[in-house]
Amino acid sequence: MSTVVRAENVAKIVNTAAGELVILDGIDLEINRGETVAIVGASGSGKTTLLGILAGLDSATSGAVQLVDAQLTELDEEARALVRGRHVGFVFQSFQLLGSLTALENVMLPAELRGDAVAQSQAQEILAMVGLADRVHHYPRQLSGGEQQRVAIARAFASTPTVLFADEPTGNLDTHTGERITELLFDLNEEFGTTLVMVTHDDRLAHRCNRTIRIDAGKIISTDTPDVKAEAS
């Protein structure tokens, strides 16, 4: 099984008025193709920063990050954007749809940015898969929170990413809707054979993943494999 995400001795340090603040310290991890990984930890533990660095949204202060076949730490923002466009999909807690575009246009956006022939029918197909066939021409403000997150998931899978990064994908949703979104996310992940890296507070969500990486004060304190999880449950 090939490695799609690799972090070696990654650190993130920021300068504040009170001096240097270490957010991540000596992170080493590997994530294989098709794996589902949850990153968990308390607020301020550094898990969101780690997700940003692994996905190429942010750069590490030191260490090396490899995403699929790209050495992210050696690339500038211009090149990292191209890697994201080709290999990465995102689902965010606050949905992050463009309010000025319809559901369909939001889903078509990654293809348009790549300059690919606009695959309108493919976008419509994915929206149908997430149960929004009759809402394709609605704007985000005309959709409920759950529906907006479905559009975001459709957009993430529309570019058939190698890795899908999700930041608290159910954090803004009620329990029932959150469960339905979780189902959808994992179903599509399986169908598309995507690697899923997810930051979450939700234990049930973390449990659905193959592996759980626990972070505290910027360091990995444990990695639970499926066997450990089984024992724990």
CB of 20 to another protein, least distance (A): 18
Q: Which stretch binds another protein (CB under 8 A): 108-116, 123-131, 177-185, 213-221?
A: 108-116
Q: What is the C-alpha to C-alpha distance for residues 230 and 224, in angstroms, rounded to an integer?
A: 10
Number of residues that bind another protein (CB under 8 A): 42
β strands within 3-54, DSSP E: 3-16, 19-32, 36-41
Residue 52's alpha-carbon distances to 35, 112, 233, in angstroms, are 18, 23, 30
The answer to whether residue 198 forms part of the interface with another protein (CB under 8 A) is: no
d(CA 111, CA 33): 23
Any contact of residue 18 with another protein (CB under 8 A)? no
Phi and psi at residue 111, in whole multiples of 5°?
-65, -40
Under the binding rule (CB under 8 A), the answer on residue 137 touching another protein is: no
Please select the residue that binds another protein; options are 101, 119, 129, 217, rule is CB under 8 A. 101
Q: Is 196 in the site for another protein (CB under 8 A)?
A: no
Give yes or no for residue 84 binding another protein (CB under 8 A). yes
| Residue 112 touching another protein (CB under 8 A) | yes
What is the C-alpha separation between 28 and 18, in angstroms, rounded? Answer: 28
What is the full DSSP assignment across 101-131? S-HHHHHHHHHHHHTPPP-HHHHHHHHHHTT
Q: Among 78, 134, 227, 231, which residue interacts with another protein (rule: CB under 8 A)? A: 78
Residues that bind another protein (CB under 8 A): 48, 51-52, 55, 57-58, 68-71, 75, 77-79, 81-86, 88, 90, 92-93, 96-101, 105, 109-110, 112-115, 118, 141, 155, 159, 167
